[in-house]
Structure 1
Amino acid sequence: MTGPTTLPVTGSPRHDVVVVGGGIVGFAVLHELLAAGHMSVALVEREDTPGTHQTGRNSNVIHSGLYYAPGSLKARLAVAGCAETKAFCAEHDLPWSECGKVVVATDSAELPRMAELVRRGRANGVEVTELDEAGVREREPAVAALAGLWVPSTGICDYGAITCTLARLAVDRGATVHTGRAVTSVTRRRRDAVVHTDRGDLLAGQVVVCAGLRSDEIARASGFDPGVRIVPFRGEYSDLVGPLADQVRGLVYPVPDPAFPFLGVHATRGVDGSVHVGPNAVLALAREGYDWRTLRVRELAGTLVDPGFVKLAGKQWRYGLGEMHRSLSRSAMAAAVARMLPGVTADDLRPPHDVARRAGVRAQAVRPDGSLVDDFLFVQDGDTDSGTGEGPAVLHVLNAPSPAATAALPIGREIVARLEGKSVDAA
């Protein structure tokens, strides 16, 4: 998947389903469509390679399902996806490890929140062991904490490699994949839908839009009100070097603040053996704003005047300033890490050699009332039966940040079931 493919506009075949977006969720949907017997399927991706954005720029953690509200889509699909991701990696000889995770409380005020994590995890069917200070030290000798949780099912992998494998398998089974081709909108007609791209139109019986950072834009351009705005939050990473890095065995996470969908600055030993720390969460100056130099005035202005973002900023500006401080000051980031790993200084943090590992941008849906959408959000425009007068279904994936990579394979099944009218929203 290194270059664009083309499909002639004149005489273009009508696909059963066209998937918009070539991240791991898009390719998981394509994978499941083929498994369900849809023989004429296509995927369109604006970049030249799959998994360029959220998929290829994250911690590569296989999440257990510990954090999420019981009964939510995140809980149900992440727990299933945790096992399925490991099985997929094993089947296709992709790098992965079930290294386990320690969640640590460094302040007594965090202990009630930790107890809630235990409740949620066990309600979701996740194995959780409570640790005292000595137990934390036994698992992670460099960590200082009052208490902790041991979650053995958490792992690490390479989501970019998984996505490329899904893409290869789909093409081998007859799917058409268009890269380097940007979708601008979707028009629903009586018996089909037209997927408009910058290189001509495609026809489809049904459409699934998994466009991540551009998902709300495509919905609005298609005449569909998504009810949310995607706000891009950049998360930056550093490599941890030196003696303390050598002592990190697996994954070390803080107790998250329940007011935010972010899990906090954590330490992760990746499949390549390096230890990275991060991310923070700062407002990106563009939808694909991976550093402070990338500014798109129209995109930033659209965020700043959005009523939902204005209300969010009014409530959480102190939190935002703290995140900006950690972005601009290596010493401030080191101090955040040192709460869990005492002794870490700014000299122990280095920018990753791989530019793609330095930062990712989370596509976070924000409602008009300023609340952050905390669950996956799949919204359907139209009927599942493309033969009705209402026209074909266009399903918009409007919120699929972490743990969507972990949950991607079950998400694919969930979406295909919804297209076939076999599933209801469990959120």
Structure 2
Amino acid sequence: MAGTTGIIGGGIVGIALARALSARGEHVTVLEKEARLAQHQTGHNSGVVHAGLYYKPGSLKATLCAAGRVSIREFCEEKGLPYREVGKLVVAVDESELGALAEIERRSAENGVPDLARIDDPSRLREIEPHVAGVAAVHSPRTAVVDYASITEAMAQDVRMAGGSVRLGHEVTGIRSKNGRVHVTTPGSESVFDRLVVCAGLQSDVVARFVGVDASPKILPFRGEYWELAPERTDLVQGMIYPVPDPRFPFLGVHFTRGVYDNVHVGPNAVPALAREGYRWLSISPKDTWESLRWPGAWPLAKQHWRMGVDEISGSLFKPLYFQKARRFIPELKSSDLARKSGAGVRAQAWGRAGELLDDFAVDQVGPVTLLRNAPSPAATSSIAIAEYIIEHYLVKAAA
């Protein structure tokens, strides 16, 4: 498989792939449009290393999450980076959620989540999380938190040490195949590779157009906003407190996470972003918004999930509504404990023409170009495993 490989995207998945290829003797060049790595999804998430509680058994999500969790832990140990197993408690607040909690327990067992425990005694819940309210829970003590931006930088250093190149400020503006090779243009350069892998996240469908593949799936950006607990109130949360997800909706709902540096954030919610990289309500791209509205799947999606949309937008605009969602799990919580908004992330949610939201990883292959079309959570957890999967199932086969 030796040759030259270009990778578009300097998030954790693109850099993990570059590192894996460099270790195999491949000459790798990463093209990243921003001035630093991990600028978008990688650097704006909650830092959770997922253990695999939610994912459909046998799916790529489930398989790659299990392998990726182990790989991320080993990488952090090798590099001396923080990896903290703070544990996750998925809490049924009342008996109406027990059926869905049982499904989470079943999936977790099939996915091999380590040391998972079902808890039906509220007093036992409070031994783990002293301030939580609920009737039952599943506890994943091995769920961890890390600093994904630092992990990405450490991986990039491995790429450079192996002779690879990481070019920042190189926005790709064109891709064409000629005589079996791939020509990639940026405003100031043209590079030629034997093969190209696109890991462009929020811009993945835009870059896919350069290759001429199907416009579906399209990226619908969702912003997730976080509040941070006041420093003097972080004792309300020991690890992670998560809701039982509503199977009708594609997002988890507001939850509590103690980060790797001991800050505790609350969230995220999920509101449609008005720009692909729209981290604030005032970040508006008429072009991005119009493209979303005119997509054939827009109205079927709105019809199916409009109630959730109204609820999430209301919580975003009015702190008391956001606070009430959080207070279900910690009755002692006060509105003033949500000290400040601590930023937001934008999720690259892929959706199809019929309005369906893609739930699993999706990859397309067009000659020497491989495109990662959908990489939802737990993509950061799974990044090293995703890299191995792409190499084995796409790059090795294409070279054979």
Q: Which band: TM-score by shorter chain?
A: over 0.9
Counterpart among 412, 423, 427 of residue 387 in structure 2: 412
1:314 maps to 2:313: no
State the match for 2:54 in structure 1. 67
Equivalent position amino acid for 2:297 in 1: G
Offset of residue 351 of structure 1: 2.3
Confirm or deny that 1:210 pairs with 2:199.
yes
**Match for 2:370 among 392, 395, 398?**
395
Residue 252 (structure 1) aligns with: 241
1:226 Cα shift? Answer: 4.3
Q: Does residue 86 of the first structure (1) align with residue 47 of the second (2)?
A: no
The answer as to whether partners of 1:43 and 1:177 remain within 8 angstroms in 2 is yes
- Give the aligned partner of residue 387 of structure 1: none
Partner of 1:22: 10
Q: Does 1:266 align with 2:255?
A: yes
What is the letter of the counterpart of residue 346 of structure 2?
V
Aligned to 1:189: 178
How far does residue 418 in structure 1 lie from its aligned partner after superposition?
A: 2.3
Residues 225, 289 of structure 1: CA spacing in aligned structure 2 closer, same or farther, 3 A cutoff?
same
Is 1:51 aligned with 2:42? no
Could you say what secondary structure the match of 1:420 adopts? helix
Cα separation, 1, equivalents of 2:248 and 2:64: 22
What TM-score does the superposition give when structure 1 sets the normalisation length? 0.90
**Residue of structure 2 aligned with 1:239, choices 225, 228, 242:** 228
Give the whole-Å Cα distance in 2 for the aligned partners of 1:108 and 1:363: 34
Q: Mean Cα displacement is larger for which, 273-282 or 104-113? A: 104-113
Letter in structure 1 aligned against 2:118: E
Among the aligned pairs, what percent are the same residue?
A: 44
CA distance in 2, matches of 1:190, 1:112: 57
**2-side partners of 1:309 and 1:335: how far apart?**
30
Q: Deviations over 1:68-90 (max 9, x none)?
A: 00111100011111111111111
Partner of 2:288: 299
Aligned to 1:117: 104
Structure 1 distance, partners of 2:98, 2:332, is 23
The match for 2:357 among 354, 372, 379 is: 372
- Code of the residue aligned with 1:280 in structure 2: it is N
Deviations 1:278-311 (A, max 9, x none): 0000000100000001001011110111111221
Within 2, Cα distance between the matches of 1:58 and 1:420?
Answer: 29
CA contact (8 A) 2:15 2:156 kept: yes
1:129 CA displacement: 0.6
- What is the identity, as a one-letter code, of the residue corresponding to 2:79? H
Q: Which of residues 366, 370, 394 in structure 2 aligns to 1:381? A: 366
The residue that corresponds to 1:287 in the other structure is: 276
Match of 2:86 in 1: 99
2:353 maps to amino acid: P
Name the structure 2 match of 1:150. Answer: 139
Q: Of 94, 108, 116, which residue of structure 1 is paired with 2:95? A: 108
CA distance in 2, matches of 1:65, 1:350: 31
Deviation, 1:257, is 1.6
User: In 1, Cα distance between the equivalents of 2:211 and 2:46?
Assistant: 33
Conservation of the 8 A alpha-carbon contact between 2:362 and 2:373: yes
CA distance in 2, matches of 1:350, 1:209: 39
Question: How far apart, CA to CA, are the structure 1 residues paired with 2:127 and 2:31?
Answer: 48
The Cα RMSD (Å) is 1.5
Contact 1:335 1:344 in 2 (8 A): no
Q: Tell me which amino acid in the other structure corresponds to 2:384.
A: L
8 Å Cα contact 2:258/2:264 also seen in 1:
yes
What's the offset of the Cα at 1:41? 1.1
Distance, in Å, in 1 between the alignment partners of 2:369 and 2:249 is 30
Please tell me whether the aligned partners of residues 231 and 263 of structure 2 are also in contact (alpha carbons under 8 angstroms): no
Q: 1:196 & 1:109 partners in 2: Cα distance?
A: 55
Q: 1:138 aligns with which of 109, 114, 127?
A: 127
C-alpha displacement of 1:261: 3.1
CA distance in 2, matches of 1:364, 1:381: 22
Q: 1 CA distance for matches of 2:79 and 2:245?
A: 33
Q: Distance in 2 between matches of 1:311 and 1:239?
A: 35
Matches within 5 A, 1:213-228: 213-228=202-217
Deviation at 1:96, TM superposition (A): 1.7
SS of the residue corresponding to residue 297 of structure 2 reads helix
Q: Which runs of 5+ in 1 are unaligned?
A: 1-13, 383-392
Report the secondary structure of 2:241's partner residue.
strand
Partner of 1:3: none
Aligned AA (1:254)? P
- For the residue of structure 1 that corresponds to 2:138, the secondary structure is strand
Q: Hey, what's the Cα distance between the residues in 2 that align with 1:185 and 1:71?
A: 36
Residue of structure 2 equivalent to 1:10: none
Taking the aligned partners of 1:89 and 1:350, their CA distance within structure 2 comes to: 31
Distance, in Å, in 2 between the alignment partners of 1:155 and 1:102 is: 12
Distance 1:244 1:259 in 2: 33
Q: Give 3-state SS (helix, strand or coil) of 1:87's partner.
A: helix
Note if contact 1:142-1:244 (Cα within 8 Å) is conserved in structure 2: no
Contact 1:335-1:345 at 8 Å conserved across structures: no
CA distance in 2, matches of 1:88, 1:226: 36
Q: Which blocks of at least 5 consecutive residues in structure 2 are unaligned?
A: none
Report the equivalent of 2:265.
276
Letter in 1 for 2:21: L
Aligned to 1:321, the other structure's residue is in SS state: helix
Aligned to 1:97, what secondary structure does the other structure show?
Answer: coil
